[in-house]
Structure 1
């Protein structure tokens, strides 16, 4: 539940955006009535696969694009009516690097501060503060082209923070990082949120990232919010266990369909869906149901490569609301 004392940091109401799809083709729908609110001073995640509409949402909220319908406010400022005020109030960390590789980390930060109107001494002081916070001080005077991927991404976040924005947008901040660098970035973002006390909108397709960082999140599919709440609320809304079976590689499409029908007919198994060779279902007691499932498949001559039982995850939540797994590639239906 939103705290009235905090106020609203971000609001999107009925946003719609389309893109041309080529001569004679219907326009591609990126946003189709997307609506959400973000409590001020919290981290809010938009979770969804590539093409769900997350980046388009960020572009509209940061004034880089305009919606064809709907309204949006950032820090209480109407995005369409006062774009210049919005730009002063926000920091934006895009998917692509923004730092100049031929300048040092310190030079990049000071330049970003000066572009935001900060006096020279204040920009240098803030740059030193952020270099220290993001553990970049030892590399402050090295050219950015010598930075590792994780270091360069930290610098991008620091650039977005230079002018102490009221709202920070992080668009897929850890895409392309290795697992160690990603975990390091998560720790830095958690510390940043505590220190800066700002509203943060995070877009991601990493389940663990949204689960760990976000106070609340919205699952986006085909340009619409299909579920919203805290990570725990969303997971707790799914009762019982998930039973996940990976069917044998030699099984053809007909065999997969047979497996779905067989498992669906077993007592106590529900929401049975197949993502490729991965069969997912829900049941009150996974430990009790799994032996029955495996025995039924074996009797039918359907080979299973692996089987697991797990408590509900955000991927299960996504599966419930969209009919497919977030981790399963899907055809591009909309632009990001």
Structure 2
């Protein structure tokens, strides 16, 4: 019988240790950014109904939550604030004693080594829920830039390590970069939501941040999910305007965009594993339809494999624990 000639790829899969030796992509604790929500009041810990295991914390309890985050080895958080009062221009977003500014100051005293990334937007703070100023039912781009810049500067003054503008107004990176520089914060990087799609996966987040628009939708400023080339134009503009990191949001349905942007632009790429992606896995795991740990690890690994340098994920604490368990298991 003639000997068959073919490659034996399975040789490198025969044992667990061999598979570990040739593994091409891993997720480390340093890759993870943990999103957190802070609200007014004291001793407040409200579970988000559509996001099991995710809570809104008043600042006093947020500090305890961040103690645990730091102890687990997570080095960065993405901070969202939910104000007690809202108005048409989102004035609490840039108030000196706004909820985000107070939280930043207190967390930096408690954990000066922690990287605090401040989400910079108006939607949680406006009574209409849009990410900019409204005139006659239209979101006005350039007027919104002034308020977004004020918000970024106030967050930097409070001690934010990174500013993460998520509004998708044209020119927001150059406006915020110039505003930070003029205020003396040339050292504070901008983590731009460079490619943010008008996605159906944001619903649970809007429960957590109380940020659903009161009319219309965000499709005039967030991107059409059908578009790929537009994503490259958006990311290129933010790169040219001075962004230090580029976020792709959502991540799981847009891994092709993560790869495209990674190959085109030499900046750290951040994949945002959004609320809907989190809640789907949580729901399926609760029904016994998926193994939560294995599914999450596979999903986050796919984001790294696609080209993400960092991952924003509500699973950050779980992933940190699983990384520790794997190390101890060895």
Larger RCO, structures 1/2 (Cα 8 Å, 6+ apart):
1
Question: Of the two, which has the highest radius of gyration?
Answer: 1
TM over 0.5, yes or no? no
Structure ranking higher in helix proportion: 2
TM-score normalised by length of structure 2: 0.32
Structure ranking higher in strand proportion: 1
